[in-house]
Structure 1
């Protein structure tokens, strides 16, 4: 998939069916995710991508955007803490990485190059989760 061809389109267009409006009593997260599906891909920011990836929404379209940001800044603070987008992205299901093997290799390269000091400000299990992703990529 050539992502550049799709940057002016929304997830509702690319990942049918279009989602209906959220229920009136929907949570803030649900309302946010529904709204993000209507935003052109080029306008999605790091926090938007973190939200979509963590909620596993249209991953074949949002993971490439996340990896593109992570290659430039692996410890990007998308919303909660430095490295939150990385940690969310390495936890994407293996079936998605099977569709995007080159991106998995790129992210593995970035993740495996992190110095041990980079883990100091990440959540407790971050090193283990990143190491699991790196090991899985080596096997794949």
Structure 2
């Protein structure tokens, strides 16, 4: 099932949409591992910006997560999802190029968001201006 049908499945989880489902993490796993495993069991429509940022940064089920993640910076480019202003945008632009191959329209949308950012806003970010520039000029 591709991202085109994603809107029809906001009540489903990543474990359902991106099989096989993940088993529970080992007891000694890091808090991040526990968080990511738990997020795979949350319906897509209930994922918060911080959840999407975590999943994108950890490269989890990107064909399903990126369409949800990109819509937020498209509306509010410098959204502070969890750590700092623009953190969700920066997580999305650092996704490997091959992840965008199946999502060219989303990639174009995100490039337009990056291109529309005022220079002062980019320079004011706590980090990531290089990643934004690299994404904006990547072929």
Q: TM-score range by the shorter chain?
A: over 0.9
What CA distance in whole angstroms lies between the structure 2 residues aligned with 1:27 and 1:81?
22
What are the ranges of 5 or more consecutive residues in structure 1 without an aligned counterpart? Answer: none
Shift of residue 123 of structure 1?
A: 3.2
Aligned match of 1:12: 15
What TM-score do the two structures reach when normalised by structure 1?
0.94
Deviation sequence 1:52-92 (CA, Å, 0-9, x none): 00000000000110101111001000000010000010001
Please say which of residues 15-24 and 114-123 is displaced more in the overlay. Answer: 114-123
Runs (4+) of structure 1 moved beyond 4 Å? Answer: none
Aligned match of 1:118: 121
Aligned match of 2:137: 135
**Secondary structure at 2:99's aligned position in 1?**
helix
What are the ranges of 5 or more consecutive residues in structure 2 without an aligned counterpart? Answer: none
Shift of residue 128 of structure 1?
A: 1.4
CA RMSD of superposed structures (Å):
0.9
Aligned length: 136
What TM-score do the two structures reach when normalised by structure 2?
0.94
Q: 2:46 aligns with which of 12, 24, 43?
A: 43
Aligned match of 1:91: 94
